Amino acid sequence: MFYELLVKDFVRVEPNKFGLPTDEAVRTQLEESYSGFQDKDIGTVVAVLEVLNVEEGVIIPGDGAAYYESTFKIIVFKPELQEIVYGKIDEITNFGAFIDMGAIKGMIHISQTMDDFVSFSDSGVLTGKDGKKILSKGDKCMARIVAISYKGEEPKIGLTMRQPGLGKLDWIKAEKETEKKALKIVSKVKVEKKK
């Protein structure tokens, strides 16, 4: 889920930015320091939105940089268990697929890609044995977050597409069309029974 956070922090502005106006130097430094920053408690920083306030700077002897207490807004992505996410298949492997959700990537184990026996082909696609569904790089999908681990540098996100309303967008669309046809048939049968 995406959140907008208000942050108050001391920003270390490097000496190579001293020629810029203070507000611009602080914003530039924030974008360099915070973009992509990941924290278990706040999530992954997607962007610095706005610098609201910059206090007077402080120079610490022996450091060379200036420190400005600043208040600013950031957008973060913090994955939540059971959250439904949208993304694009970034990579297919023999054990599953990686989906790019924008801010971070998640992994869908081969057993969680579809309700079918799935095989990996040499052409880099996952294919269902009975349903003949195909999942390949670049496919747009909906998935549910079923596991989150913060061990290591980046969070590891486990996803599933084996639930109704999830999967490749083409599959979801086809399922909805099938449901509409079935409802029309049921409605027609009910009308005929009333006669």
Q: Where in the chain is the domain with CATH 3.30.1490.120?
A: 2-77
The answer to whether 27 and 51 have CB atoms below 8 angstroms apart is yes
Which pLDDT score is estimated for 195?
Answer: 60
Give the model's pLDDT for residue 176.
87
Residue limits of CATH 2.40.50.140 in the chain? 84-183
- Residue from 112, 40, 108 nearest 76 by CA: 40
DSSP three-state, residue 48: strand
Cα(127)–Cα(142) distance, rounded to whole angstroms?
17
Contact predicate 154/104, CB 8 Å? yes
Phi and psi torsions of 178, nearest 5°: -65, -40
Residue with tokens 């910059």: 54
Place of tokens 């007077």: 56
What is the CATH code for 84-183? 2.40.50.140
Is 2-77 a domain of CATH 3.40.50.720?
Answer: no
What does the alpha-carbon distance between residue 13 and residue 156 come to, in Å, rounded to a whole number?
32
Mean pLDDT of successive 10-residue segments in the chain (195 residues)? 92 91 92 86 90 91 91 93 94 93 91 89 85 90 93 87 91 86 76 65
Query: What does the alpha-carbon distance between residue 100 and residue 124 come to, in Å, rounded to a whole number?
Result: 17
pLDDT given for residue 192 in this prediction: 67
| pLDDT (0 to 100) of residue 81 | 94
Helix (H) or strand (E) holding 31: helix 22-34
